[in-house]
Structure 1
Amino acid sequence: MARICLICEGSYPYVVGGVSSWIQELVKSNEEHEFSIVCIIPNLEFAKNKYEIPKNIVEIKNVVLDKKYEVSPFKVLKNRVIFNKLENEIEKVLNFKTEELKETTRIIKKISNKKYGNPLEIILNKSFWNSLLKYYNKNYEDIGFNTFYWTYRNIFLNLISLAQEDLPKADIYHPVATGYSGYISALAKLQNGGSLLLTEHGIYPREREEEIIGAKWIEKDFKKIWIDFFYFLSKLTYDECDKIISLFEYNKQLQIENGAKKERCKVIPNGIDVDMYSKIIHEKRDGFSVGSVLRVVPIKDVKMMLKGFKMALPKLKNTKLYLIGPTEENKEYYNECLELVRNLQLEDDVIFTGRVDVKEYYKFLDILLLTSISEGQPLSILEGLACGIPFIATDVGNCREILKEKEEGEAGIIVPPTSYSDLGEAIVSFFQNKEKIKEMGIVGKKIVERYYSKKHFIDSYKILYKELGEKRWQE
């Protein structure tokens, strides 16, 4: 038996979705091991369980990013002499393009020592200010210092705060992303020993890059700092990993391009209980039933889906769109979607179901949609195909390979991200060709049965856990 520490950011067990479902299935299928769960969350209000916790999860530790700190001026002054000696080292950490990852990690651990105070007391030290000012004058003097200072202050508050966390001791640390999860896992391995196994469902820095480029709250001149920072966290994580898992070959190559060592990389696809889904009996309803299994959040681009559906609607008859999944994760975005439904006069045609048993909807849906602007290997596609339901999906993540590039044939239609006109045309093409729905549904079942079984997914991780656990015991 191994003790495994799963580290996740803003997901399990507090958010329903593909990554969380993947974690739940992984833990339940490895009853011979004990699991600790470390959840990196924005605040304690976020910590509301959405899953029944398996018995072999023996600990859940919440790590809160948005903390409030009291500052002791005495402690700040007391540490001034110590930090004067560290000014040159602190400056090295500010360069997120550095290739000296082990040296950078050593410096972060050194300056984050709790004996120097809490994260804010450390950052308010004059030596941190001097290092930042020197780095600014050398590299960024053409942009405003005030925003530059607060950018780096926010970044290092999180870095130091996470470095001061005491993670559970484990034989294997298993983050399900790089970013903060990977960073804190690398520090835990260095502090406690053990192995580090990373599973990336998407490529974390690329997803953050897309968000940052579109973010209105980050000034244009500072977006590159944030993007470089997230790529830096990925490289730091890769550097400490014993094994690096991706869900498909394309992402594996991206990992290698971003600094992962090829010999440590391996592909393990997602897997589902094919028998359970394939046995669902289709009960055709009157009319045309279109569905999407999703969280109502911006990355799923629900607004694009609604616009595409609106474009298709004049050529459809007796058609409903079911948006199947939780709506509470981003209430502001959900309300924007509701407003768009009203503006498009779709109140009688679009149904937000909230969190439900999706299998009840798989029984009658004719086609399924996925309009995300970023994905890994969506479980919703695998589930839908196993039920014999073809997909229209945006060209993100592994969607094209699943739906269009298997030797069994095509199981759906791929459209460009954000293109609601292409989505509308694809919906109409399915509505006008019921035989295509049937043919693609048969192909989809064959694809899932051959490539994406739960057994292969679970057996692959059992082998990894055994291998890395034994390595730990031999140390």
Structure 2
Amino acid sequence: MARVCLICEGSYPYVVGGVSSWIQDLIKSNEEHSFSIVCIIPNEEFAKVKYEIPKNVVEIKNILLDKPYEISHLKVLRNKISFKKFEEDIKSVLNFKSNDSEKVLKVINKISDKKYGNPLEIIINESFWNSLLSYYKQNYEDVGFNTFYWTYRNIFLNIIALAQEEFPLADVYHPVATGYSGYVSVLAKLKNGGSLLLTEHGIYPREREEEVIGAKWIEKEFKKIWIDFFYFLSRLTYDHCDRIISLFEYNKGLQIENGADEKRCEVIPNGIDIQMYSEVERERLPGFNIGSVLRVVPIKDVKMMLKGFKVALPKLRDTKLYLIGPTEENEEYYKECLELVENLELKEFVVFTGRADVKKYYKFLDVLMLTSLSEGQPLSILEGLACGIPFIATDVGNCREILKEKEEGEAGIIVPPTSYSDLGEAIVTFFQNREKIKEMGENGKKIVAKYYTKKQFIDSYKELYKELGE
């Protein structure tokens, strides 16, 4: 039996979604192993369990990134002397471009020693200030120092806080992303020994890059700092991995491009319980029923979906759009979506179901949609196809490869991200061609049965846990 420590950032067991469902399946299907869960979350209010925790989970450890700290001015005064020798070391890691991960970790470990106090006591010492000031004058003197300082202060508070944590003992540390999860897994491996197995569902720094570019709260001049930081965390994780898993070949190529060792990379696709979904009894309901299984959050681009539906609506008859999934994760965005439904005069056509049993809707939906800005290998597509429902999906992640599979035939239509006009055309195409719906639905069943079974997915990880846990 192996001791496995799964490391999650802002997901399982507190957020419902594809990654969390994947983790739940992985744990429940590996009863011979014990699991610890390390959850990196923003605050205590976030920690509301949304899953029934399997019996082989022996520990859940929450790490809060938004902690209040008290300051001992005596410790700060002592650090003024102790940290003088660290100024050049600190400066050497500020651009997040170093390829020498061992050197970077040595610097982080030196300055994070608990004898210097808590993360805030360490950050506010004079040497840290001097290092930042010197780096600022060399690289950013034409922009405001205040925002520059707070950007680095926030980044290093998290880096140091995580470095001061204690982690569960494990034979295998298994982060489900790079980012802070990957960084924590590296720290845990170096502190406690064990192997490091990374599974990336999407490419973390690319997803964060998209968010940072669109973020209004980050000033333009400082977006590059955050982007470089997230790519740095990925390189750091890759350097210390024993095995690196992606869900499909394209993402494997991106991992290698971003610094992963090709010899340690492999592809293990997602898998679903074919029998469970194939047993869903389909029933033809009146009208044309469209659905989307999703979390109502910006990355799913629900607004684009609503606009595309509005474009198609004049050519449809007796139609409904069901948005199936939780709405509470980003209440502001959900409110904006409701306002858009009102403004587009769609209230009688659009249903937000909230959290629901998706199989209830798989029984009668004619077509499913996914309009995400970024994805890995969506479980919702695999589930829908297994039920015989074709898809309209944006050209992100593995969507094209799944839906345009060459041997078994096409199982859906691919549209460009953000293009609601193309989405509207695709909806009309399906509405006007019932034979296409039937044909693509049958193709989808064959694709999932051939490439994406739960057994294939679970057996692959059983073998990895056995190999890395010995």
TM-score, normalised on structure 1? Answer: 0.98
1:97 is matched with which residue?
97
1:232-247 → structure 2 map (5 Å cutoff): 232-247=232-247
Q: Which moved more, 1:271-280 or 1:390-399?
A: 271-280
1:456 is matched with which residue?
456
1:473 is matched with which residue?
none
Q: Is the contact between residue 95 and residue 225 of structure 2 (CA under 8 Å) also seen in structure 1?
A: no
SS at match of 1:85: helix
Q: Give a deviation string over 1:184-220, Cα, whole Å, max 9, x none.
A: 1101100110000000000000000000111111111
Post-superposition offset of 1:340: 0.6
2-side partners of 1:87 and 1:60: how far apart?
A: 37
Post-superposition offset of 1:234: 0.2
Runs of 4+ in 1 over 2 A off after TM superposition: none
2:68 is matched with which residue?
68
2:178 is matched with which residue?
178
SS at match of 1:79: helix
2:86 is matched with which residue?
86
2-side partners of 1:162 and 1:428: how far apart?
A: 51
2-side partners of 1:438 and 1:31: how far apart?
A: 39
Q: Is the contact between residue 34 and residue 57 of structure 2 (CA under 8 Å) also seen in structure 1?
A: yes
1-side partners of 2:452 and 2:324: how far apart?
A: 23
Post-superposition offset of 1:276: 1.1
2-side partners of 1:190 and 1:92: how far apart?
A: 22
2:329 is matched with which residue?
329
1-side partners of 2:213 and 2:398: how far apart?
A: 22
SS at match of 1:216: coil
Gaps of 5+ in 2: none
Post-superposition offset of 1:19: 0.1
1:37-48 → structure 2 map (5 Å cutoff): 37-48=37-48
Please state if 1:290 is matched with 2:329.
Answer: no
Please state if 1:130 is matched with 2:125.
Answer: no
1-side partners of 2:364 and 2:110: how far apart?
A: 59
Post-superposition offset of 1:100: 1.2
Q: Which moved more, 1:91-100 or 1:179-188?
A: 91-100
Q: Give a deviation string over 1:416-466, Cα, whole Å, max 9, x none.
A: 000000000100000000000000001000000000000000000000000
1-side partners of 2:225 and 2:131: how far apart?
A: 16
2-side partners of 1:342 and 1:22: how far apart?
A: 35
Q: Is the contact between residue 4 and residue 33 of structure 1 (CA under 8 Å) also seen in structure 2?
A: yes
1:196-207 → structure 2 map (5 Å cutoff): 196-207=196-207
SS at match of 2:235: helix
1-side partners of 2:92 and 2:36: how far apart?
A: 34
Once the two structures are aligned, what percentage of the paired residues are identical? 80
1-side partners of 2:232 and 2:294: how far apart?
A: 30
Q: Give a deviation string over 1:260-313, Cα, whole Å, max 9, x none.
A: 000000100000001111121110111010000000000000000001001111
2:120 is matched with which residue?
120
| Amino acid corresponding to residue 91 of structure 1 in structure 2 | K
1:405 is matched with which residue?
405
Q: Give a deviation string over 1:19-64, Cα, whole Å, max 9, x none.
A: 0000000000000000000101010000001000000001000000
1-side partners of 2:406 and 2:457: how far apart?
A: 19
SS at match of 1:187: helix
1:442 is matched with which residue?
442
Q: Is the contact between residue 326 and residue 355 of structure 1 (CA under 8 Å) also seen in structure 2?
A: yes
SS at match of 2:400: helix
1-side partners of 2:144 and 2:371: how far apart?
A: 38
Post-superposition offset of 1:140: 1.5
Please state if 1:389 is matched with 2:389.
Answer: yes
2-side partners of 1:269 and 1:416: how far apart?
A: 23
Q: Give a deviation string over 1:155-179, Cα, whole Å, max 9, x none.
A: 0011011111111111110000000
Q: Is the contact between residue 248 and residue 269 of structure 1 (CA under 8 Å) also seen in structure 2?
A: yes
SS at match of 1:166: coil
| Amino acid corresponding to residue 312 of structure 1 in structure 2 | A
SS at match of 1:21: helix
2:58 is matched with which residue?
58
2:18 is matched with which residue?
18
2-side partners of 1:74 and 1:83: how far apart?
A: 14
| Amino acid corresponding to residue 457 of structure 1 in structure 2 | F
Q: Is the contact between residue 381 and residue 391 of structure 2 (CA under 8 Å) also seen in structure 1?
A: yes
1:361 is matched with which residue?
361
SS at match of 2:397: coil
2:213 is matched with which residue?
213
Please state if 1:160 is matched with 2:160.
Answer: yes
1:266-277 → structure 2 map (5 Å cutoff): 266-277=266-277
1-side partners of 2:255 and 2:406: how far apart?
A: 23
SS at match of 2:60: strand
2:338 is matched with which residue?
338
2-side partners of 1:233 and 1:194: how far apart?
A: 20
Please state if 1:280 is matched with 2:277.
Answer: no
SS at match of 2:40: strand
Post-superposition offset of 1:80: 1.5
| Amino acid corresponding to residue 419 of structure 1 in structure 2 | S
2:5 is matched with which residue?
5
Gaps of 5+ in 1: 471-475
Q: Is the contact between residue 406 and residue 447 of structure 1 (CA under 8 Å) also seen in structure 2?
A: no
Q: Give a deviation string over 1:294-346, Cα, whole Å, max 9, x none.
A: 00000000000001001111100000000000011110100110111111111
SS at match of 2:417: coil
TM-score, normalised on structure 2? Answer: 0.99
Q: Is the contact between residue 112 and residue 163 of structure 1 (CA under 8 Å) also seen in structure 2?
A: yes
2-side partners of 1:134 and 1:371: how far apart?
A: 45
Q: Is the contact between residue 93 and residue 108 of structure 1 (CA under 8 Å) also seen in structure 2?
A: no
Post-superposition offset of 1:95: 2.1
RMSD, matched Cα: 0.6
SS at match of 2:296: coil
Q: Give a deviation string over 1:120-159, Cα, whole Å, max 9, x none.
A: 1000010000011111111222221111111000100110
SS at match of 2:413: strand
| Amino acid corresponding to residue 401 of structure 1 in structure 2 | E
Post-superposition offset of 1:72: 1.0
Post-superposition offset of 1:405: 3.3
Post-superposition offset of 1:406: 3.1
* Number of aligned residue pairs: 470
Post-superposition offset of 1:79: 1.7
1-side partners of 2:150 and 2:365: how far apart?
A: 50
Q: Is the contact between residue 4 and residue 172 of structure 1 (CA under 8 Å) also seen in structure 2?
A: yes
